[in-house]
Amino acid sequence: MAAPVVVVAETIYGGLTPASLECVEEARDVAESLATAVHVILPGHQTAALADELAAHGADRVTVIEHQALAQFSADGWLAAVAPVLKETRAVFTLAPDSGYGRSWLPRLSARWRIPLASACIRVKVTDEGYPEVFRVSHDGKLHERQIWARGTAVMVMLWPGVRGVGPALPGRPASVTVVEPELDPATFRDRTLRTVPPDPHDVDLTEAERIVSGGLGVGGPEGMALLQQLADELEAALGGTRVVADRGWLAADRFIGTTGKIVAPKLYLALGVSGAGQHVAGITGSETVIAVNTDRTAPLLKLADLGVVGDLHAVVPVLIRKLRTLRQAAQAAPAVRPALLDPVIRTPVAAAAGRPRDASAREALP
C-alpha cells in the first residue's frame, strides 16, 4: 500500500477540535483516491480514548503520543513529539488544522525538512495524473489559488476550519491504535501555554460564536441594543445585528451579519426586531436553531425561523431576562439541577461547527 495520508489532530478542553475531524474526513477522501490509509497522530495527555472518534470519522490508524508535558500546547513540545512519528510514516500528504497551534509548529517543520507547506487550504486532492493538488484562499478570502506539485512531492497542508464541515460519524468503525510515550523534557520547551482562557462573548468573533442575540431596527435605538446586550449576557451569547443597525451606530461596525458582514453558524440565533431581508438571511443559513421575535407576523424571518414569536421585543425581552435570571439563581442554589442552557459554552479556538460548514460554497465552486 502507498504511504498513508497523515493528519496531526488537536484537542481542546479534553475533546477533539472539529477542525481536526474535518482534516480526518478530508484525508479520508484523498486516501481513497490513492487507495491508501489515513493515519492520525494525536499528541496530548490522556487522549487515547479519543481514538474511537477519530476512527468513526475515517482514521485507519491512530498513533497517540502520550506525555504529561503535552497536556498544554507548546510549539517546541509538538515539534519534539510529532516530528519523529511523522517521519516514520513517510507521508506524501500531511494535514493539520489551520489553527493557532498548527501555525506555531508546522511551518518550522516544513522549513526544517524543506517540504512545501500550503496554508488556508479549502480542498486537498490528487489530480487524475496523480499530482498533489490543493486549493487555498488568499488576500482575505478574495482570491482562490490552485497549487499542483510534481508527482510524489511530500506536501504539508493546513486546512481552513469550518469550510468542509464535519460529516456524520460511523461509530464502531475499526482503527488500529498505538500509544507511544516519548521522552520529552519540558524544561527545554521555549514556549508553553500556562492556561487556556475561554473567549469572552463580548468580543468573540461572531463567526465563532455558539449563541448570537441579534438586533434589527425594531430595537428602536441604542437603549434597545443595551437591552439586548443584557439578554446576551444572560445567555452567554455574542451580540450582533443587521447592517442598518450598525450603519446607525447602535452596534459596532464589525458586528453586523449578512452578505456584506459576517457569515455566522451558531447553535442558537435569536433575532429581535429583524425583518429578514435577503442580504441578512444569507449570513445566517448555517445557524442550527433560529428564533425570531417580531411585531409583524408577515416578516420574512418569522417564516424561516424554527420558533417565531409575534410580539413587541420590548415586552418579550425583559420577561426573558427575568426568567433566565431566575433559572440561574435556582441553578446556583442547586448545582445538580443546573439547566443545560446555562452551561458554559465550550468554544473551539477556531469555528467549525459539526455539520455546518461555515462557507461550503467556497468548496462547491471548485473544479
Q: In what order do the strands lie in the sheet with 117-126?
A: 143-148, 132-138, 117-126, 155-159, 93-97, 5-8, 38-44, 61-66, 176-180
Label each residue of 68-95 as H, E or C: HHHCCCCHHHHHHHHHHHHHHHCCCEEE
Min dist CB 261 to ligand FAD, Å, is 4
Q: 42 vs 219, which CB is nearer to ligand FAD?
A: 219
Min dist CB 267 to ligand FAD, Å, is 20
Min dist CB 213 to ligand FAD, Å, is 13
Q: 84 vs 311, which CB is nearer to ligand FAD?
A: 311
Min dist CB 327 to ligand FAD, Å, is 23
Q: 73 vs 256, which CB is nearer to ligand FAD?
A: 256
Q: How far apart are CA 286 and CA 353, in angstroms?
A: 9
Q: Are 40 and 61 in contact (CB under 8 A)?
A: yes
Min dist CB 323 to ligand FAD, Å, is 18
Q: 59 vs 264, which CB is nearer to ligand FAD?
A: 264
Min dist CB 352 to ligand FAD, Å, is 22
Q: Which residues are within 8 A (CB) of 218 and not within 5 positions of it... i.e. 6 or more apart?
A: 224, 272, 273, 274, 275, 294, 295, 313
Q: 54 vs 299, which CB is nearer to ligand FAD?
A: 299
**What are the distances in angstroms from CA 334 to CA 206, 324, 331, 337, 343?**
32, 15, 5, 6, 14
Min dist CB 322 to ligand FAD, Å, is 18
At 27, give phi and psi (nearest 5°): -60, -35
Q: How far apart are CA 176 and CA 171, in angstroms?
A: 15
Min dist CB 274 to ligand FAD, Å, is 4
Q: 255 vs 356, which CB is nearer to ligand FAD?
A: 255
Return residues touching ligand FAD (CB under 6 A).
216-218, 242-245, 256-261, 273-275, 277, 279-280, 293-296, 299, 312-314
Min dist CB 264 to ligand FAD, Å, is 11
- Give the burial class of 29: count Cβ atoms within 10 A of its Cβ; 0-12 exposed, 13-18 middle, 19 or more buried: middle
Measured at CB, which residue is nearest to ligand FAD?
258
Q: 55 vs 245, which CB is nearer to ligand FAD?
A: 245
184: which 3 cell numbers? Answer: 520529552
DSSP state of 11: E
138: which 3 cell numbers? Answer: 488568499
Q: Map grid coordinates 487507495 to a residue.
A: 35
Q: 261 vs 266, which CB is nearer to ligand FAD?
A: 261
Q: 61 vs 262, which CB is nearer to ligand FAD?
A: 262
Return the beta strands (E) in the chain as ranges. Answer: 5-8, 11-12, 15-16, 38-44, 61-66, 93-97, 117-126, 132-138, 143-148, 155-159, 176-180, 211-215, 238-241, 268-272, 289-294, 307-310
Residue 108 CB: number of other CB atoms within 10 A? Answer: 15
